[in-house]
Amino acid sequence: MKNRAWQLTLAVLLIMLATVVAAGVSYAQGGDTVFVTSPAANEAVSGIITITGAVDFPDFMKYDLFLKRGDEMVWAATVYAPVINGVLARLDTRTFPDGAYQLVIRQVHSDSNYTDFYGPTFFIENNLGAPLPFPEVEPGVLYPPVAGALARIRNCSGVDLKFDYHSPDSFCSGGSLTVRPKPAESQVCPFTDVLLIPCEYQGTAMGLGVERGGSYNFVAEHGKIYELTYSGEDRLYVAEVPGDTRAATDTALLPADDPARLAPVQASADAPAGASAAEQSPAESTGSETAKAEAPASSISDQPAEQSPTEPPTTETMLPVSGEAAPTIIPYLLIGGGVVVLLVLAGLYAARRRAADL
């Protein structure tokens, strides 16, 4: 009877540990799939363009798009959800000098390791004489994230925004940041994206040199997008938003084992648009992200937005946008589960020793 009770206890402990481990596992995506269908290799583009194709890989956190010219890689956009046969990003090419650029897609995993995919080389031909100082659209696309909650902080005021965030809960994101002001002639408010551990968050937003600031409080849920928009003084607006509508051809939301999800991948396998075979082989890195990109500003929570296309987005969160690997909650879950198991086992062992002594 004692042996049976011990076996049942061990089985329960193993189930508890498996539950703890499963709670820390990020959403799994399909296989490693990256291709570009537009722009095509050697295509000349101008104005505002839509970049289409697929980016899908296991342990997905986000992907960054860069334009490579010579040895320089310029950040263009960041997206926090897979795309298959859909819109990868929107880009105002008028903010870049005319010339040849190669599209580089950086696949960033939840541990911040990444792989670079070298896509097609295309030509920007706007014939403006000089690039525009500000884009007329926010780069990238805004889809619900697969890892954590996405907060977009937008500064639509004419002064620097000082923003802070913290949580009364344990093991949550926290920090402070600055979002640059919106130039009077710009149509886009600077913004910063932040991936948050799902928790309750609160903090303040205050313009530089402004006597009064705004305060906020919201609960960030997994897979949701929140916008926090500052328009001066104590005017701070927080809202949950659905994000952009995916293309009708985008199958990324289907289950990973659904054959229809991979149909566009099979159709594109024979002749994907892009660079030559040599250019398309991805270059892998075993370290954390090192390239930084400054992203546009648009929504709710903690990442300031310095949105020049030549600057990468800065990030201070559990899921890095700038490449700084901040801690995730997974190690704490595993450690906590291990401690619980050890304590229970120690108690059972002590009880058996006492019973044997009697």
Q: For residue 217, what are the domain limits?
A: 33-253+259-288
- ω into 39 cis (within 30 of 0): yes
Model confidence pLDDT, tens digit, residues 289-306:
543 333 333 332 333 333
On whether both 11 and 41 belong to a single domain, the answer is no
> What pLDDT shows up at residue 140?
87
265 plus 142 within the same structural domain: yes
Lowest-pLDDT range, 152-156, 241-245, 277-281? 277-281
**Residue 327: partners with Cβ closer than 8 Å, 6 or more residues away:** 318
Residue 63 or residue 268, greater confidence: 63
Mean pLDDT over 118-145 rounds to 94
> Of 27-36, 186-195, 309-318, which range is least confident?
309-318
Residue 211's pLDDT is 86
Q: Is 272 exposed, middle or buried (0-12, 13-18, 19+ CB in 10 A)?
A: buried
Residue 182 pLDDT exceeds 60: yes
Give the up-direction half-sphere exposure of residue 121: CA atoms within 13 A in the CB hemisphere: 11
DSSP state of 97: -
Give yes or no: residues 45 and 20 share one domain. no
Chain mean position to CA 258: 24
Considering the domain architecture, whether residues 193 and 134 belong to the same structural domain is answered as yes
Which stretch, 7-16, 39-48, 254-263, has highest mean pLDDT?
Answer: 39-48
Select the more confidently predicted residue: 276 or 37: 37
pLDDT at 312 over 50: no
Banded model confidence at residue 260, pLDDT cuts 50, 70, 90: confident
Please report the pLDDT score of residue 203 as a whole number: 96
Looking at residue 314, what is its pLDDT?
40
212 shares a domain with 137 = yes
Q: Is residue 301 one of the residues assigned to a domain?
A: no
Same domain, residue pair 211 and 160:
yes
- Both 89 and 171 in one domain: the answer is yes
Beta-bridge mates of residue 243: none
CA distance 294 to 304: 9
Choose between 299 and 185: higher pLDDT: 185
Q: Over the chain, what is the mean pLDDT?
A: 78
Establish if 320 belongs to a structural domain.
Answer: no
Give a yes or no: residue 283 inside a domain. yes
Please tell me whether residues 86 and 234 are part of one structural domain: yes
Give mean pLDDT, residues 282-293: 43
Residues 173 and 196: beta-carbon distance below 8 Å: yes
Residue 219 lies in a domain: yes
Residue 80 and residue 173 in one domain: yes
Position 304 in a domain: no
Shared domain check, 344 and 195: no
Q: Is a pLDDT exceeding 80 seen at residue 344? A: no
CA distance to 15, 95, 262, per residue, from 151 (Å): 34, 25, 30
In a domain, 322, yes or no: no
Question: Residues 159, 234: one domain?
Answer: yes
The verdict on residue 276 lying in a domain is yes
Share of the chain above pLDDT 90, in %: 58
Whether residue 18 is contained in a domain is answered as yes
For residues 188 and 310, what is the distance between their CA atoms, to the nearest angstrom? 15
Query: What is the value of pTM for the model shown?
Result: 0.71
The answer to whether residues 13 and 94 belong to one domain is no
Q: Kindly list the distances between the CA atom of residue 262 and the CA atoms of 18, 61, 220, 239, 341, in Å, as whole numbers in the listed order.
A: 30, 20, 31, 34, 41
Most confident of 24-33, 105-114, 283-292: 105-114
* Structural domain count, the chain: 2
pLDDT, tens digit (0-9, with 9 covering 90-100), for 65-92: 999 999 999 999 999 999 999 999 999 9
Average pLDDT over residues 277-288: 42
For the segment 166-190, the average pLDDT, to the nearest whole number, is: 93
